[in-house]
Structure 1
């Protein structure tokens, strides 16, 4: 830059400014004149002419001073910004921001890298926080959600009748209990309940113009919509009148279902549809943003509670004679309510707890007071935590991962700022020399880092929006498209992003600002200061940041490696049955009026018809589709003649059809499998697996022995063991150690409901799909096929969560690796530049280029290995937190640890090699003149 300041200072002399303020103004005007000078050169003027033209633009000897006088007397009465402290804080901050923008414009490459790095870190955190906000923090879209309460209970002991009923254990109640709670008008303004419509949460068959389709239905009590404060978009909601005996059957449909099935026809109110063959009248359409009381789910329709054979709530098979309104042990309701004005949650809990205590002591007969469940009235603003319960741990774990990613990004940018601060030592020393205070300089430098962080936060919001939408799509796909989330940006997400951005700005800027403000004025003013004096400890902070980045990368990459290993272990795991060429689909004939013997005959007829199809090798039935997550679970097993049964006698139970084991490819070890002769008219038989026999018959042949599913052996309801099979995982993909038993579905016609067909094809399963549809349609055209897919597809869907988590952690691990290596490259490149003079001396004294290469690489690899060591130690302490989420691999798997260490070391070597090669090419003569 040319010497503009003498001319400028001569014109500023009449203002009698402080040296600091005068120097600041002179620097601003000098920069302007320099820019104008270069513009004039481009137009063709000579250097002298361009210099004089630029000076002439100052418009006379005293005009500049007079122009600035009014401004200085008004806003800048005291020295601010880069000078001494000022009481005019606002003016100082404005000038800090103005100067920060100017510095960013002067270094666009540095600014772009820093802002982009921070945007990645902040955006990843905002994306995951958006999920936390949508799933866990956000209130239901209803009126005054803070006044809602959720009924629940807890107990150390499982209620004896609960093993076959209930949805979410601690949230499940009977209709009788609901009636008792509803009577407490002194503390509750309204109490309402709901339950899934259908046995085992199966879909409801909806008939529209004679065409059967499937929908997700919910039964609700009369105050459901009014208690939530939801006003339907069209028509009305379910009311108390709809629950009265003989009332016309009414159904309310969701906005999404109205759009999907009726194209938003406003005249739909009053139209008739059939639900499970029963006529209903559409009376309302819910608002667009209402999804019920469970985040992530959205029912298609709501109806009033009923106990007709085809319209029964959760957990009881259709066709039974028991009534939801009178069965005190039918725990199928989730109950919520709204507090009465002026009543606290604690007061209401006290009143309701007394009612609950009387109910459970009368029905459950606990042997002692400590066994009685405790009633809890929890806040209900977030609704029923169905999705929250199984997603909270993974989401919080992802939050930890992106938190580490943000720390790496901060360390990366802090390293850049440290290098930049070193290059600005002379500039900062000049400011200190002319009167600027250290605190004032620290504020200026922190403003620069905060501004970069703010820009990173704004760009991070854009990245977060893209990332959140991608995450929701992946999560929905992992849940077969059934999870519906609104993770839009709201005030909570904006505040989180702002808070993170400001915190990041302070954290990454504080150390460089403190380091820069402690500059040695005498050495910094020398042209070759860094060449003659470069203490090692001045660069320890930058090296520590590199070590921290590598260590955090190790933690993320090992975690990703363990989840990838888990996924590959699941995909290659032998689940105990042959999945090749296997096709599965479900039927729910009870909705069409099939019950008892007629239902058994239908299944038998369909099996015969399917087995006769060309291309079908075998076919059978199972009560719950493999890997669907469903299975009958009994908490007690009693063996005939055994005085004492083993503790923890849980058993998983499946109703299956004839030839089940041969069709599924499950080897029979002893005895026989389920046969066509095992009917309701024959003695009850069961096939058990080897886990069962090892537990209950460790030293004898179990064939011919009997057991019952009860805490005390019951001969009237016992089963004879007729076969033993190899263990097979049919409930979910997570292998368990619980015994499993199989019984003939035909021996239980009274409790029979939806069943799944397992069809093994001779070749690819796709070749028999149309024939299967035709076979079912020819038998009964009103029976839609449920979930028709190959068993391989079912298994893949069951592994969607593991696949999603492996992908996300891998992405975060690779981003962490990329950022850490960029930081390492930048630090080594800066070190090479800083040591150019030293390198020149070494080479002048005879050092070979390979010696220089080794010196540079040694520095980078040493930092990497230290970081890897710290990362491994940190990972050893952290992997226990994910031990329940991994399968087939130890949390301390040496292969994963070694592989990650090797990958990091190789990539680090490559990152260091580029600046090391540049160091090898240093010309000693040029280097000796450097700086």
Structure 2
């Protein structure tokens, strides 16, 4: 131990004697270690940490599936049978989103609300801090209903009143009784259908209405369950599919084609992000390797400068292993300084990632620099110290004592060290090329995503959601009249070009589907026609820039008392009416239709892709809001195209809503460009991170080439002087130095290309419209790296031509 302390003190003195070297090495290591710690903290928080529920490994998500729908929400009628008959779950519950309006103290507020079945919180393993959970009998429809408040809402709007239990509360015009308050920190489980993202706050929970004879054809509820101890997902899935087959025999019309798929809740939440996060962690590990190579090169140069010092120590009796351990101790000390600086950098980077990270990345706000991250950083720091310090330390221990003392202290680098430095430079060029190719592929993918015609124009469009309380607008005519009044008032505002209503906006995860029967056409069983349905007003399509392909848009003449009409997209027209005009054709949702049950296609509109990365649109049709308000709710979304900045219109629109109904809040006010940008935020986030790390790798590789050639020129000054004294031209000397550097760069680029062909295949799922082995990207990146290497070679080469032969020979 005493020897180790002495080595540390001696190493510290040597590092302080060379502050420039120490600072450069510490900064290089801090960038590598800090980047790894920051990204690993995200991997840990998102992928590795258990979910914040009791026994989270027992939680599962359940989906109904068919040949055309691999995962679909659950029908209430089927849920009732599954809940009563299963033998593998402790509990099963449904939840679906239906926001409500709270008007209290003249402050109308839209609340994020979930309808849940009894036992929902039991499944999660959390209980109210005040009051109780819902009871099974409260699922039945009734005039008044109970409600449970979140801790945040109880604190924000009710001043933490402990007597809130039993009080009445009016939500969306309906009376509720508060029966519970949840503790702080209850995180929503997520859900991809009528839900909120995981981790977002829910303000209130209300009991999902469950009629005694609930329907089996409407699939709109998210299902969550808890496995019994010792039961696997496979066993539970088999149990549920036995029940599903029994239901298919009992109810062939609604259940004939449906089975059950089960997925662990953790996999459901983070499965889509796993590939991206592991690729990011691999990227920063490459950056760390390049940083280690650079520091190793610095230490090799420093070891050469200290050869006489090592020779003196050897002459005084220090053995080879003693010298190696001394140099390795200095490397570990240097790594510790870099690791400490890296932790500080990681803390800053984590805060930045929380702010800039996409909403699609679950659990990002819970990411922190905890004990596991600090342990990871400690281990990484020690490994880094050994990695970059071992080769220079081994080289420093192989001192040729006689040669050095005979040379009178002349610093002569042997061929062995030169070969080692060449290998290190080739390695970092190869690693940098892999990162640059990955960044290039992501950049081309993102560019293609941006250039693709997605079927709508998001520029200068303001959007906002509006929910009419059923208590005041229970009649369809009242809701339609309010909508029309509001549209007329907004259309009259200055700078408004057009305004429309819709049930949903592009790229927001909407997924409502319905099957139908086409007049005059027949299809095989369970292969009937269907499509994604939407609701829209007459001006909606012009507002968001969806073109009319054939026929007409909706008009003021399309009213509840007139024949029912629909618009379909081009994809549906091509799929079901190929080679003929779809305008004028009819379809129905009834198996025994009357004349009023038929919908006539009056127009074909352009395809709007559901998601940015969709290669084609799905068949879709649109109901007119003037004829058929959205099913089960008065929720609509306003879309307003303006002449100038849409956000300048927000207060004017709020005022128009307030003039019609002062208790009606306008929610989710955003521009369509903001929504479209958020939909590609995950791709943009990955691109910026990988691109940033690739640029850092390129910078470090450039520095590596430059430093090696600078060292080469310094070590070959005598040789260069002799060449020039014998008549070598400056151009010959430049070619010599540049040729040496470009030889290393060419080998590194060749190895990097081979590695890239194998490694980039892992990121194919992240790409859009680009192959993982895209030849253009590979070629451009290879030429770019060779060009940068040429520039890095030029300065040392130019310095070599300025060697004075007489001075060089005299010095030698």
Query: Which residue of structure 2 aligns with residue 876 of structure 1?
Result: 757
Q: Distance in 2 between matches of 1:914 and 1:287?
A: 65
3-state SS of paired residue (2:803) = coil
- Identify which of 196, 199, 202 aligns with 1:297: 199
Q: Distance in 2 between matches of 1:604 and 1:265?
A: 41
> What is the CA deviation profile of residues 741-761 of structure 1, one whole-angstrom value per residue up to 9, with x for unaligned ones?
323234434725322222333
3-state SS of paired residue (2:687) = helix
- 1:494/1:259 Cα in 2 relative to 1: closer, same or farther (>3 Å)? farther
Are 1:296 and 1:484, in contact at CA under 8 Å, matched by a contact in 2?
Answer: no
Q: How does 1:836-915 map to 2 (within 5 A)?
A: 836-915=717-796
- Identify which of 381, 390, 399 aligns with 1:510: 390
State the shift of 1:868 in Å.
Answer: 2.6
How many residues matched? 798
Are 1:610 and 1:775, in contact at CA under 8 Å, matched by a contact in 2?
Answer: yes
> What is the CA deviation profile of residues 750-798 of structure 1, one whole-angstrom value per residue up to 9, with x for unaligned ones?
7253222223335554554444323322222222222233333332333
- 1:714/1:398 Cα in 2 relative to 1: closer, same or farther (>3 Å)? farther
3-state SS of paired residue (1:485) = helix
Are 2:65 and 2:260, in contact at CA under 8 Å, matched by a contact in 1?
Answer: no
State the shift of 1:825 in Å.
Answer: 1.9
Query: Which residue of structure 1 aligns with residue 38 of structure 2?
Result: 127
Are 1:631 and 1:654, in contact at CA under 8 Å, matched by a contact in 2?
Answer: no
Are 2:148 and 2:206, in contact at CA under 8 Å, matched by a contact in 1?
Answer: no
3-state SS of paired residue (2:91) = strand
- 1:842/1:559 Cα in 2 relative to 1: closer, same or farther (>3 Å)? same
Q: Distance in 2 between matches of 1:849 and 1:281?
A: 92
> What value does the CA root-mean-square deviation take over the aligned residues?
4.0
3-state SS of paired residue (2:13) = helix
Are 1:221 and 1:238, in contact at CA under 8 Å, matched by a contact in 2?
Answer: no
Query: Which residue of structure 1 aligns with residue 487 of structure 2?
Result: 607
Q: Does structure 1 residue 238 correspond to structure 2 residue 133?
A: yes
Query: Which residue of structure 1 aligns with residue 230 of structure 2?
Result: 344
Query: Which residue of structure 2 aligns with residue 12 of structure 1?
Result: none
Q: Distance in 1 between matches of 2:764 and 2:343?
A: 33
Q: Distance in 1 between matches of 2:532 and 2:311?
A: 76
Are 2:74 and 2:222, in contact at CA under 8 Å, matched by a contact in 1?
Answer: no
- Identify which of 207, 211, 216 aligns with 1:323: 211
Q: Does structure 1 residue 356 correspond to structure 2 residue 244?
A: no
Q: Distance in 2 between matches of 1:720 and 1:304?
A: 39
Gaps of 5+ in 2: 191-196
Are 1:639 and 1:696, in contact at CA under 8 Å, matched by a contact in 2?
Answer: no
- Identify which of 88, 96, 111 aligns with 1:215: 111
Query: Which residue of structure 2 aligns with residue 114 of structure 1?
Result: 25
State the shift of 1:624 in Å.
Answer: 0.5
Q: Distance in 2 between matches of 1:338 and 1:421?
A: 61
Query: Which residue of structure 2 aligns with residue 52 of structure 1?
Result: none
- In terms of Rg, which structure is larger? 1
Are 1:122 and 1:501, in contact at CA under 8 Å, matched by a contact in 2?
Answer: yes
3-state SS of paired residue (1:618) = strand
Query: Which residue of structure 2 aligns with residue 475 of structure 1?
Result: 357
Are 1:628 and 1:732, in contact at CA under 8 Å, matched by a contact in 2?
Answer: no
- Identify which of 183, 204, 225 aligns with 2:100: 204
State the shift of 1:121 in Å.
Answer: 0.8
Query: Which residue of structure 1 aligns with residue 425 of structure 2?
Result: 546
Are 1:576 and 1:727, in contact at CA under 8 Å, matched by a contact in 2?
Answer: yes
State the shift of 1:124 in Å.
Answer: 0.7
> What is the CA deviation profile of residues 118-150 of structure 1, one whole-angstrom value per residue up to 9, with x for unaligned ones?
11111111111111111121123455x36x511
Is 207-216 or 605-614 further displaced after alignment? 605-614
> What is the CA deviation profile of residues 244-281 of structure 1, one whole-angstrom value per residue up to 9, with x for unaligned ones?
77798554444544565567677777765433333445
TM-score (norm. length: structure 2): 0.86
Q: Does structure 1 residue 623 correspond to structure 2 residue 503?
A: yes
Are 1:832 and 1:915, in contact at CA under 8 Å, matched by a contact in 2?
Answer: yes
Q: Distance in 2 between matches of 1:424 and 1:635?
A: 81
Q: Distance in 2 between matches of 1:242 and 1:520?
A: 90
Query: Which residue of structure 2 aligns with residue 420 of structure 1?
Result: 302
Is 759-768 or 106-115 further displaced after alignment? 759-768
- Identify which of 42, 60, 70 aligns with 1:151: 60
Q: Does structure 1 residue 801 correspond to structure 2 residue 682?
A: yes
State the shift of 1:819 in Å.
Answer: 1.4
- Identify which of 738, 752, 756 aligns with 2:637: 756
Q: How does 1:516-595 map to 2 (within 5 A)?
A: 516-527=396-407, 534-535=414-415, 537-590=416-469, 593-595=472-474
Q: Distance in 1 between matches of 2:234 and 2:583?
A: 53
Q: Distance in 1 between matches of 2:30 and 2:518?
A: 61
Q: Distance in 1 between matches of 2:791 and 2:484?
A: 67
Q: Distance in 2 between matches of 1:261 and 1:900?
A: 57
Is 355-364 or 399-408 further displaced after alignment? 355-364
> What is the CA deviation profile of residues 79-131 of structure 1, one whole-angstrom value per residue up to 9, with x for unaligned ones?
xxxxxxxxxxx444444434433332333322222222111111111111111
State the shift of 1:707 in Å.
Answer: 4.4
> What is the CA deviation profile of residues 341-375 of structure 1, one whole-angstrom value per residue up to 9, with x for unaligned ones?
xx4344x975x5675244312323499x9988567
State the shift of 1:426 in Å.
Answer: 3.4
Are 2:517 and 2:528, in contact at CA under 8 Å, matched by a contact in 1?
Answer: no
Query: Which residue of structure 2 aligns with residue 103 of structure 1?
Result: 14
Q: Distance in 2 between matches of 1:816 and 1:490?
A: 28
Are 1:626 and 1:731, in contact at CA under 8 Å, matched by a contact in 2?
Answer: yes
Are 1:173 and 1:335, in contact at CA under 8 Å, matched by a contact in 2?
Answer: no
Q: Distance in 1 between matches of 2:625 and 2:74?
A: 19
State the shift of 1:468 in Å.
Answer: 0.9
